[in-house]
């Protein structure tokens, strides 16, 4: 019985890449294709994994509190922060609402850009039935404003490595907005002619926010491994 518990503990510890933790927050790397929270697939999700990690590491009895303050789409990997207290959850959520919470992504997109820096502003509408968003006019009922800025870091063959500062958090925002300017993300079969059996090249690589209990700006980075299409670039 003890061996079984130790094996489960080791599984959780090995599976989760913890970048930073204290009594109020925990910052981790979300692997690609792991849901941020439980969904109808029943697959293991990040909230469950992080709760197990905290419970095992600190021998916590009963239910572990963990606040989800932002999400990453299931195919997207990268950095996430979770709140370990309700106070931290409330303050981080407020930081996101007031745009004092910076999220930066890396993406490999198709094609080359004439301008190496740019800004995209659109109105997006989510089709719930299709689980897909599209660019629409601002007059359409249910349309939401979406904005981001980007910088082209490197070009290889017919692909570009782009750094993206996300200013609003709309459904599939980065994928939709880049597809709309004819630069779909590599591997994106929903919004472009993605390569079959290829992981979408979108990675949440940087977070910056004020610590919920300290007067301190926290900055974290986590870059994708140089495998697949990421291996073409100097990350």
Q: Looking at the annotation, which residues are catalytic?
A: 73
Distance CA 214, CA 118 (A): 34
Q: What are phi and psi of 73, to 5 degrees?
A: -55, 150
Cβ atoms within 10 Å of 125's Cβ, excluding its own: 18
Element at 108 (helix H, strand E): strand 101-110
Element at 154 (helix H, strand E): strand 144-156
Distance CA 93, CA 27 (A): 15
Cα 130 to Cα 134, 171, 202: the distances in Å are: 11, 12, 21
Burial class (CB in 10 A: 0-12, 13-18, 19+), 187: buried
Distance CA 107, CA 117 (A): 14
């Amino acid at each position: 019985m003890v061996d079984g518990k130790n094996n489960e503990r080791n599984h959780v510890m090995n599976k989760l890449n913890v970048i930073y933790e204290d009594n109020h927050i925990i910052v981790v790397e979300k692997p690609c294709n792991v849901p941020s929270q439980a969904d109808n697939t029943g697959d293991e999700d990040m909230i469950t994994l992080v709760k197990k990690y905290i419970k095992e590491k600190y021998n916590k009895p009963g239910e572990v509190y963990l606040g989800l303050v932002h999400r990453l789409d299931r195919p997207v990997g990268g950095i996430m922060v979770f709140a370990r207290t309700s106070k931290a959850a409330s303050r981080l959520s407020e930081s996101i609402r007031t745009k004092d919470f910076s999220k930066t992504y890396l993406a490999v997109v198709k094609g080359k850009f004439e301008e190496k820096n740019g800004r995209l502003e659109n109105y997006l509408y989510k089709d719930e039935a299709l689980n897909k968003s599209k660019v629409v006019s601002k007059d359409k009922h249910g349309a939401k404003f979406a904005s981001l800025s980007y910088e082209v870091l490197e070009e290889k063959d017919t692909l570009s490595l782009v750094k993206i500062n996300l200013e609003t958090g709309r459904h599939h925002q980065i994928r939709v907005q880049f597809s709309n300017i004819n630069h779909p993300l590599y591997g994106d079969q929903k919004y472009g002619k993605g390569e079959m059996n290829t992981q979408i090249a979108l990675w949440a690589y940087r977070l910056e926010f004020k610590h919920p209990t300290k007067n301190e700006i926290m900055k974290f980075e986590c870059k994708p491994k140089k495998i697949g299409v990421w291996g073409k670039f100097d990350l």
